[in-house]
Amino acid sequence: MLALEPCLMGNTFGSVVAEYDLSLATALVPILVLLAGGLLVWCYFKPAVGRFLARIFAVVAMAGGVGLLVWGILAAARRETPTADLLFDLGTSGIIGCGAGLLTAGLVALVLSFIRSRESCP
Count of domains for the chain: 2
55 plus 25 within the same structural domain: no
Q: Range of 106's domain?
A: 46-122
Per residue in 44-65, pLDDT (tens digit) is 898 888 899 899 999 999 999 9
Q: What is the pLDDT of residue 7?
A: 54
Half-sphere exposure of 98 (CA within 13 A, CB side): 15
Torsion of CA 82, 88, 91, 95, to 10 degrees: -80
pLDDT of residue 119: 66
* Residues of the chain predicted below pLDDT 50: 1, 17, 122
pLDDT reported for residue 6: 53
Whether residues 40 and 62 fall in one domain? no
66 and 111 both lie in a single domain: yes
The reported pTM is: 0.65
Task: Please check whether residues 33 and 69 belong to one and the same domain.
Answer: no
Residues 112 and 65 in one domain: yes
Pair (16, 74) in one structural domain: no
Do both 1 and 56 map to the same domain? no
Do residues 94 and 102 lie in contact, with contact meaning Cβ atoms separated by under 8 Å? no
